[in-house]
Amino acid sequence: MIAQPMKHQFALGVDVGGTSSRWALMDSAGSDIAHGDGPGFSGAELLAPTGFDRVRQCVEQLASTVPAGADSVYAGVTGIGAGSAALQSIFARAFRLPDAAVSIASDVEIACRAAFTPGEGYLVYAGTGSIAAFIDETGALQRAGGRGVLLDDAGGGYWMAREALRRVWRREDESPGAWQHSPMAQRLFNAVGGDSSIFSARFLMERDRGEVGRLALIVAECAEVDGLARDILRDAGGELARLANAMVGRFGQRPVTIAGRAALMHELIQHAARARIAPDVPVNWRTLEAHVAAAKCAVERLRTNTTDKERQHGIS
């Protein structure tokens, strides 16, 4: 049988965090076609009806920014485990694909693959939340932390924002009116809507995790002029070091990569983390292109599907 020419195919990789998402589009040869940004969300939002609608809208908005139709989609999403049938269907409908053409994984797995080959090293990632991950030699994903911002995720952006508000109000207990002399407190109160604790509490309760996490930028921007901000950044570094040390203690000494927008937010975080990790453990700080790693996974899936179809039709 004579092989028929196949239409040009595209593979899309998406890295979804609580604050924003990034995507990369490649052709079937693995060449870059386009990159872009989109809205962020958490897979955990699917547990609520209103959250389901918001996630669907976010994915549809993301799909509208991709310049060419995707034939294979691989998405790493925060707030899920190994996968999500509901999220797979949402992506499939948004991109007009069968469910089988969409793969959903945790965002940390994609980030880990972007940092190391299996068995090579540990990733500590801090965005809105925080987590440590290790893909071992068998391909199994090992984790520490990453249990959600309501339970922990110390060292992430949400944690830094909440700590900033909490410590400002604790200082108010001891010295009422102290916030007026704190550049960080002034900016935080302006962001949450007022200088009463009810505004701080309502912001944490009513805003999504990404919006809360963005308050951490205020903490970093005030570090030069506010001692409380510096304390929070140093403590964030200590929490990220704890995650790294947990992985080293469980699986042995390997290199550590610390990544994520919150982790790279300020040098005080980096200095504090490095000081709390054993000196003989190699540590590097870098920006990961997890969306590119996801796109490469989508390309591999595309090639596998193409090969399977050719075999079914007797094409060699």
Q: 3-state SS of 189-238?
A: HHHHCCCCHHHHHHHHHHCCHHHHHCCHHHHHHCCCCCHHHHHHHHHHHH
Structural domain boundaries in the chain: 10-111+290-312
DSSP state of 56: H
**pLDDT for 220-260, tens place per residue?**
999 999 999 999 999 999 999 999 999 999 999 999 999 99
**What's this model's pTM, rounded to 2 decimal places?**
0.81
What is the structure's pLDDT at 305? Answer: 67
The CATH architecture one would assign to domain 10-111+290-312 is 2-Layer Sandwich (3.30)
Q: What pLDDT is stored for residue 60 in this prediction?
A: 96
Strands (E) across the chain are located at 10-16, 20-27, 32-39, 72-77, 102-106, 122-126, 130-135, 141-145, 256-259, 283-285
- Condensed to tens digits (0 to 9), the pLDDT of residues 99-150 reads 999 999 988 888 998 999 999 999 999 988 999 999 999 999 999 998 888 8
What dihedral do alpha carbons 257, 271, 22, 52 form, nearest 10°?
100
Residue labelled with tokens 């925080």:
130
Residues 9, 159: Cα–Cα separation, whole Å: 42
Q: Which residues of the chain have pLDDT under 70?
A: 1-7, 82, 305-316
